[in-house]
Structure 1
């Protein structure tokens, strides 16, 4: 299940940033008693009763023509479009205002679940003030206090109860889901079109369960079934470039969660940027298969060292992705694009691979024989046995005599031995050390 996204929407100075900081558990949004200080959407992660969510802070919407109001309204609309559930925040001290009425009217048109919260209910006497807010037509108002943290548990219970139910079809799905992640202008759309163009058997276009993106199912002539997870979803209007830059990490995170394999698409002309490393790290942490795709390779002037130098640059910047294969392609000419789908299939199979314990421990014994465990103060690490406990990604537990003796470098050595023996190209591995009792 993908992580739900909550947008906090309301007029200026009702305490949106304070609530945002409470829900995310961090002081990320600037909190000052000045209307309109949050001009751009900011997002963070939070959790409630072991359930994770993304939360978006928005600029305040109002009727006036104050500076930046058009941009703030647009930013809030984009946040509303991306959200699964919307918290409309109001202020008990001000009562229902014309701006509240306007925002409520705007939110009703979205057809998304809306939870009405009345902030600054700091004491029991103020609870009587919430009944006026029924006139907004958004159902029961939840009294909360951002400054004191009152009522947020009830609010989050209501938010999770209102989340749309996701289809469970993916549990029994034999399609391999993959996404293309990268900054604007790296050529993701062209690459998708080329992948679909080479395999013209498009099965269906299915609207995403949680947002307006389109996930495309297709089948190759050989009968391999795939689903491309779309990372678009923001309408191309207005000042979209700035918005896309600021919001692309959250959209990428959503796509990664739904994918089996992630294509990290780089622009050969521009090289590696900081944002590339951020989204690649998300794919690795989620345990997804990874292919690094260097697009626009045909536009570079090359010599005998160009590819080698580019690979060294990638391996230096993405040290945690040493297992990820690199493909140098051109979406425009189709150069090497046909290599991508077989790689995706191989990696998806590797993520599901299981190794028999007997075979696994033969490899471990050979590894220990060539490179004995480290020692500390006269004690040597002893490895008793290893067992695979999970797939997607493959996860192994190694039982030892003393967990303190298992250095990170030796854990990495064992991982490399597993990769060499069982061909785990493209997928991360998890090696967990346990002390045998």
Structure 2
């Protein structure tokens, strides 16, 4: 079992900066504007020789209605409940505020151990705020600077102590379980665990239901949702299992047209979403059934193809859709016209809110992943190459026909093929598309990008000067 540390505190005290410092990467968005973080984000922290899971949370707000701030507070409370240790971060330069005191009182009632971190203590400007943190009643605060990396050794000592205590408790429990198993005379075989989960990114325009979809899949309100567009800002990864297959779901911020993206935070959010696509293996493009496959949707789909990722299209809000046959036909026509490089991309109609047809979508995701990893034997490829060139011979620029001599698959993920031929530079794009479409149809490579590389064969007589 993993050791988890939750970073909590009011807005703009440096929680995301500390999160980035611990994981060693700029995963969480950081800006001077308060309230940038909304969903809780998990990452693998490395503090000297310690490795644990750290959770970045939204800034605590004293809101208890159905507002966005209240839903963010609920997410933070869930993070604290799941954690083995909590860091309460305060701003030593601003001093202790009534909001800090309010949430310190709440944390004193929580069974999760709490460690107070007085952030922004570089220089002398934070001395008074650091001393003021004693009155929170949560033990001795530790002065740190998340931005400059000060105070990390003190964090190490406290985390190390808590981890050792947890290990001792778990060792005792495991010893009791082992005794029970021995008395029962039962043997258990450990199955091999796949440590590399399928990386699945959920992308789309704002407010099409991406976070709702993930919440429905995992069976809990893990991500913030609501009628407000643009709630999600960070690309949040959630580990999950479907049909014994480990999957890591990535919820991403809605991607709008570049001209409409004005604020710095939204620019960072979109860049984070694009990075999630680059690291994904399969991408689910979520569409709104009432406005399926708009220009921006096609732009996102082309980006997925250019990055070489398998694609599945999920048409959401299908339960509220009218003229379903017309919508599906229009969607397929637009895909064929505007996205021929992904002919046959799988389409699933779903309702994330009601949980309808989600298994069908996930089965298509697993199928797309298999196609993305598919390998075709060299002998089969060369038999195919001979057949297609006989049926439709290559052109003959300058009176000499181009010869396609040999073909092999260079790699998978996505399927990439090398064709050795004469006059590779003179081969028309139209003939390359013919080969790609026929290859896709004959070897069932639908829904994934295909890469065809035409290489000029070496002249064996060139060195002899003939």
Q: Is the shorter-chain TM-score for this pair beyond 0.5, marking a shared fold?
A: yes
* Counterpart for residue 238 of structure 2: 215
Distance in 2 separating the partners of 1:113 and 1:348:
42
Partner secondary structure for residue 308 of structure 1: helix
Pick from 249, 256, 259 the counterpart of residue 270 of structure 2: 249
Contact 1:260 1:348 in 2 (8 A): yes
- 1:377–1:431 distance in 2 versus 1, CA, 3 Å: same
The question of 1:392 aligning with 2:413 is answered yes
* Counterpart for residue 32 of structure 2: 73
- Deviations along 1:84-130, one digit per CA (max 9) or x if unpaired, are 9xxxxxxxxxxxxx9xxx89789x9773578xxxxxxxxxxxxxxxx
User: Once the 2 structures are TM-superposed, how far is the Cα of residue 416 of structure 1 from its aligned partner?
Assistant: 1.5
- 1:334–1:322 distance in 2 versus 1, CA, 3 Å: same
- 1:360–1:283 distance in 2 versus 1, CA, 3 Å: same
Question: Any stretches of 5+ residues in structure 2 without a counterpart?
Answer: 1-24, 44-92, 94-119, 126-142, 152-193, 223-233, 255-260, 459-466
- 1:338–1:77 distance in 2 versus 1, CA, 3 Å: closer
- 1:112–1:343 distance in 2 versus 1, CA, 3 Å: farther
- 1:249–1:230 distance in 2 versus 1, CA, 3 Å: same
* Counterpart for residue 440 of structure 2: 419
Deviates more, 1:392-401 or 1:298-307: 298-307
Pick from 197, 201, 204 the counterpart of residue 182 of structure 1: 204
- 1:252–1:359 distance in 2 versus 1, CA, 3 Å: same
Partner secondary structure for residue 177 of structure 1: strand
Partner secondary structure for residue 178 of structure 1: strand
- Deviations along 1:230-277, one digit per CA (max 9) or x if unpaired, are 3369xxxxxx99666544431222211232100011112233344433
- Aligned pairs for 1:286-435 (under 5 A) are 286-302=307-323, 304-435=325-456
Contact 1:261 1:347 in 2 (8 A): yes
- 1:432–1:182 distance in 2 versus 1, CA, 3 Å: same
- 1:212–1:360 distance in 2 versus 1, CA, 3 Å: closer
Aligned residues: 283
Partner secondary structure for residue 181 of structure 1: strand
- Aligned pairs for 1:8-19 (under 5 A) are none
- 1:225–1:306 distance in 2 versus 1, CA, 3 Å: same
- 1:338–1:75 distance in 2 versus 1, CA, 3 Å: same
The question of 1:111 aligning with 2:146 is answered yes
Contact 1:375 1:405 in 2 (8 A): no
Distance in 1 separating the partners of 2:34 and 2:380:
56
Distance in 2 separating the partners of 1:270 and 1:359:
42
Contact 1:294 1:326 in 2 (8 A): yes
- 1:293–1:315 distance in 2 versus 1, CA, 3 Å: farther
- Aligned pairs for 1:62-141 (under 5 A) are 73-74=32-33, 111=146
Distance in 2 separating the partners of 1:230 and 1:55:
14
TM-score, length basis structure 2: 0.52
- 1:393–1:109 distance in 2 versus 1, CA, 3 Å: farther
Partner secondary structure for residue 185 of structure 1: coil
Partner secondary structure for residue 225 of structure 1: strand
Contact 1:262 1:289 in 2 (8 A): yes
Contact 1:323 1:428 in 2 (8 A): no
User: Once the 2 structures are TM-superposed, how far is the Cα of residue 213 of structure 1 from its aligned partner?
Assistant: 3.1
- 1:283–1:296 distance in 2 versus 1, CA, 3 Å: same
Contact 2:415 2:449 in 1 (8 A): yes
User: Once the 2 structures are TM-superposed, how far is the Cα of residue 424 of structure 1 from its aligned partner?
Assistant: 1.2
TM-score, length basis structure 1: 0.55
Partner secondary structure for residue 331 of structure 1: coil
- 1:327–1:112 distance in 2 versus 1, CA, 3 Å: farther
Distance in 2 separating the partners of 1:55 and 1:193:
22
Distance in 1 separating the partners of 2:353 and 2:146:
39
Distance in 2 separating the partners of 1:419 and 1:433:
17
Distance in 1 separating the partners of 2:252 and 2:342:
22
